[in-house]
Structure 1
């Protein structure tokens, strides 16, 4: 059900929070060691390195050939690559090298695959610390940073970077998508982590989560003839159920008929840009479903303007572009298989099928060192723990490897398919009210001022006070819906 409601022109007095954290305590500079990283066009690339991926034998794999399992489950690895990998001893079963292509998968036996690992780039941005005590660390997560090592990310993940900076024993208690920025709490003690998780799960209606987003269209009822702030704070409610539409791609959708999970989000328009036909909107999710804010905005007809999953017009624009990755603020789209925790590469640059291996190899070697760091499809199982022996990482670095699906197009099985998707979407976790003691707030993201010239960046405190008033209105409105 979609519901419009609660138009309020005045707001209650702002709740006084005892220890609201709105200032940056310190900044963590991300490592730029030229032996492991390359900074280019505002992005941090990890120089490729060797990494072992281990996975157990799933029930459907039992008694199937290892070679066949890799070909069917991980199609990014071509037949010619896998044959060469077997020959070179890169695959092991229970730590024993296997060369025989007829080796079968066995229950309770693990498979380890040594790969020449290419990570996805992230923005070359430092990490601002909002709160730093013995029990809790709170950061303003930059866009493009995944929270922890997964899929195509390891060294370019937030927790890995924090551990490099000396923060150990980190426990994530909630999530933000890699393309989303803003408040992120990380417990520094296992018991504290469990306590916060229990609080989040049992107090959905009392915890305040406030996001800022830019959506396509005029979100407010007011028929604005010029750009500027909306005069009235009109709260919009969406409680359409959600469901996973595509498990392989990790795409969700909203439908009361097909939905399997309850979801509730409140929205309130803040400002409008008539020239670009976009609105600045505050979002308050009550439940915490995957991509909830994004799919409810799509259901309302106002998708996030640069959402590469849920804004169909934006996706079409990307597909029409002939030269992806022209802008540094772009990246390739991922398809995530949640069951197998695998990632399928879609930005592969390979030659025509009738070209020879020698031609492919020549093409690959012409590339400047690490100038094209592309995606890779790997089975992610047990990973080496981050935060330990960082000095050993340099010994694993190798910029080019002949038998690699990224370095040498000859070994790639996928056809050319590139998309120009952002490292950042216009969705920012601005404020998180866990308790009166633990309430955290970030500065307003720069894209708000870039996209809404009518908002004066020189008077950010005035904007903040307006956001606080809108937040209070949304809090009052959502509490009456309980």
Structure 2
């Protein structure tokens, strides 16, 4: 239920609820709590809006939520319908109400966002129509899923009063590095035309398992993204017979080894196309996956490398578990119906899934070039450094 989302200023017939004041800003400085090396968002009231699709039509309002949004127990949805926190076409309905196609459903809730591993978003360059930043790992570029204020655009709005913003490319949440953001729609369109015209060159670095080949390696393998699993697979078109249809979209990445210590290699990655998880799955295809990738490593290596990466991050940032947070009424008020309170973090948050050894270092096009410094993990002086 996230195709539309707006702050709500309606009364939900629940006592002692204090709504956020309406504001054109996405985020403000006071919206955040810093605990254990992470940036948390103070829980806030929010209204999700969606319209009944074909799959939902004919279900009771409670069955719809219990079947489609499993993050909360069925009893919560029963209570939310009875109290009017869930409405259909702006009206309170009984729990047995059967929804109809295209009806508007709203869900007013106490929203908890996952934390991110950043104090701020470093601005590299600020011009009248462009700002470039070094995006930290763990933080999404723009509002999506469970994240709204804990995003690059949200933090830039809160900490630097920058907005509206138009990111001209995206980096996965776990990826760090250069992010180019237009400050006007016209500048965003300028970048979009160059990207769509194939005029933009991209460079990333990755820390991978093993000794990567010394010579430049070009991977030309289709990328097939499975949305239900949240991961991609690669298939070489030249290895398939004439009677076998190759799945996915054409994708090409050039790789060049920068350095190796015999255990890991630092690799320059130059994606020619832009498919979901392209660099990650193409590195897996070469037999040298990113050394702490939670999706594209074999299980026994995944466990080892994730523990190593987590230990390094914790040592560098003096991280403590979000589970160690002790509730304080000065931080936020507990909502009696909320299934997350009194914790700061939402249910289902996975602490280890925070960073990836993949970093964007340069974007260039016709008449422009932007760069970002290398991250600390790019050193290969010692194994697991």
Q: Scaled by the length of structure 2, what TM-score is found?
A: 0.79
The alpha-carbon distance between structure 1 residues 369 and 328, as it changes in their structure 2 partners (threshold 3 A), is: farther
Q: Does 1:264 align with 2:252?
A: yes
Q: Does 1:216 align with 2:226?
A: no
Gaps of 5+ in 2: 1-26, 241-245
CA drift at 1:249: 3.1
Aligned position for 1:116: 110
Instruction: Give the secondary-structure state (helix, strand or coil) at the position aligned to 1:243.
Output: strand
| Runs of 4+ in structure 1 over 6 Å off | 318-321, 324-327
Query: Residue 305 of structure 1 contacts residue 314 of structure 1 at CA under 8 Å; is this kept in 2?
Result: no
Q: Does 1:368 align with 2:323?
A: no
Q: Does 1:139 align with 2:127?
A: no
Take 2:312 and 2:269, find their aligned partners in 1: how far apart are those partners?
Answer: 31
CA drift at 1:130: 2.6
Take 1:171 and 1:71, find their aligned partners in 2: how far apart are those partners?
Answer: 35
Take 1:89 and 1:318, find their aligned partners in 2: how far apart are those partners?
Answer: 48
CA drift at 1:56: 1.3
Q: Does 1:428 align with 2:359?
A: yes
Aligned position for 2:373: 443
1:60-459 aligned within 5 A = 60-98=55-93, 100-164=94-158, 165-203=160-198, 206-221=199-214, 234-244=215-225, 246-256=226-236, 258-274=246-262, 277-313=263-299, 316-317=302-303, 328=314, 368-369=326-327, 398-407=332-341, 421-436=352-367, 438-449=368-379, 451-453=380-382
Take 1:247 and 1:72, find their aligned partners in 2: how far apart are those partners?
Answer: 18
The alpha-carbon distance between structure 1 residues 317 and 121, as it changes in their structure 2 partners (threshold 3 A), is: same
The alpha-carbon distance between structure 1 residues 243 and 273, as it changes in their structure 2 partners (threshold 3 A), is: same
CA drift at 1:163: 2.0
CA drift at 1:60: 1.9
Take 1:426 and 1:107, find their aligned partners in 2: how far apart are those partners?
Answer: 45
Query: Residue 329 of structure 1 contacts residue 422 of structure 1 at CA under 8 Å; is this kept in 2?
Result: no
CA drift at 1:63: 2.8
Q: Deviations over 1:246-296 (max 9, x none)?
A: 31232111013543200000000111123xx11000000000001100000
Q: Does 1:38 align with 2:33?
A: yes
Take 1:52 and 1:418, find their aligned partners in 2: how far apart are those partners?
Answer: 21
The alpha-carbon distance between structure 1 residues 163 and 55, as it changes in their structure 2 partners (threshold 3 A), is: same
Q: Deviations over 1:49-70 (max 9, x none)?
A: 2211111111222232221111
CA drift at 1:201: 1.3
CA drift at 1:243: 0.3
Query: Residue 243 of structure 1 contacts residue 260 of structure 1 at CA under 8 Å; is this kept in 2?
Result: yes
CA drift at 1:320: 10
Query: Residue 33 of structure 2 contacts residue 39 of structure 2 at CA under 8 Å; is this kept in 1?
Result: yes
Take 2:222 and 2:114, find their aligned partners in 1: how far apart are those partners?
Answer: 33
The alpha-carbon distance between structure 1 residues 160 and 77, as it changes in their structure 2 partners (threshold 3 A), is: same
The alpha-carbon distance between structure 1 residues 55 and 181, as it changes in their structure 2 partners (threshold 3 A), is: same
CA drift at 1:133: 2.0
Q: Does 1 or 2 have the higher relative contact order (CA < 8 Å, sep 6+)?
A: 1
Instruction: Give the secondary-structure state (helix, strand or coil) at the position aligned to 1:61.
Output: coil
Take 1:400 and 1:217, find their aligned partners in 2: how far apart are those partners?
Answer: 49
Rg: which structure is higher?
1
The alpha-carbon distance between structure 1 residues 241 and 280, as it changes in their structure 2 partners (threshold 3 A), is: same
Take 1:319 and 1:264, find their aligned partners in 2: how far apart are those partners?
Answer: 27
Q: Deviations over 1:207-243 (max 9, x none)?
A: 221101100011025xxxxxxxxxxxx2100011110
Instruction: Give the secondary-structure state (helix, strand or coil) at the position aligned to 1:113.
Output: strand
Take 1:109 and 1:273, find their aligned partners in 2: how far apart are those partners?
Answer: 60
Query: Residue 293 of structure 2 contacts residue 302 of structure 2 at CA under 8 Å; is this kept in 1?
Result: no
